[in-house]
A and B are shown apart, each in its own frame.
Chain A
Amino acid sequence: DIQMTQSPSSLSASVGDRVTITCQASQDITNYLNWYQQKPGKAPKLLIYDASNLETGVPLRFSGSGSGTDFTFTISSLQPEDIATYYCQQYGNLPLTFGGGTKVEIK
């Protein structure tokens, strides 16, 4: 199985801050990576697909980059409604696997 290592596991930032989350794959997955946002008590929501493509309707402050084994997810200006846990997910190989999640809080 491909292991996905996310860091940090949690972070606290102020409104307006730039927030960066990293995801490292245990082997090369080219750009086969998606990012999700999960708010408490809700199902995850797809934000980014193929490492860097913004899903329709997702605010432009969200972005993704990377290829191979190292990926980055960025919120350019943190908003109160962005409080959530964020997950990466690879589809380079089955089984599909997720990172452990990054909980984002407001300072």
Chain B
Amino acid sequence: QVQLQESGPGLVKPSETLSLTCTVSGGSINYYYWSWIRQPPGKGLEWIGYIYYTGNTRHNPSLKSRVTFSVNTSRNQFSLKLSSVTAADTAVYYCARDRNTDDAFDIWGQGTMVTVSS
């Protein structure tokens, strides 16, 4: 079955760039949208944006232009970069498969905690 695994630093300094990668195993990255979702400690879920396997992207305007997505179909991976981070970006970051027909997130990674601190 398809599984997702996030990877990346757990600690990022303020004003620097957060970089995470999600590896898709057990299936192909093709023909799906792949989302990033985050959850600050003790709070709710926020959709960051998604990337299609072709490279088309959409992001949440709340993050302005700080977000960059990329996809590597040969490695079955997609990535997130969030620039100019502050303490408000401290959260668990999830990658998830977006089922195109209903924008339902049917497969999730386990999540990775990223703390922004000097």
Contacts and interface: CB of A to CB of B under 8 A. Distances in A.
Contacts, number: 58
Given A43-B108, A43-B109, A34 B46 contact: no
A93 B96 CA distance: 18
A87 B45 contact: yes
B104 interface: yes
A97 interface: yes
B26 interface: no
Main secondary structure of the interface of A (DSSP, over half): loop
* Size category, B interface: 20 to 34
Contacts of B58: 94-95
B94 interface: yes
Contact of A46 (B45, B106, B109): B106
Nearest to A99: B44
Contacts of B104: 34, 46, 49, 55, 89, 91
B102 A91 contact: yes
Contacts of B25: none
Across chains A and B, which 9 residue pairs bring their CB atoms closest together, nearest first?
Answer: A91-B103, A43-B108, A95-B60, A96-B47, A98-B45, A49-B104, A34-B104, A49-B102, A101-B44
5 contacts: A49-B102, A91-B104, A96-B103, A98-B44, A98-B45
Given A95-B59, A95-B60, 16 more contacts: A1-B62, A34-B102, A34-B104, A36-B105, A43-B108, A44-B94, A46-B104, A46-B106, A49-B99, A49-B104, A55-B106, A87-B44, A91-B104, A95-B62, A98-B44, A98-B46
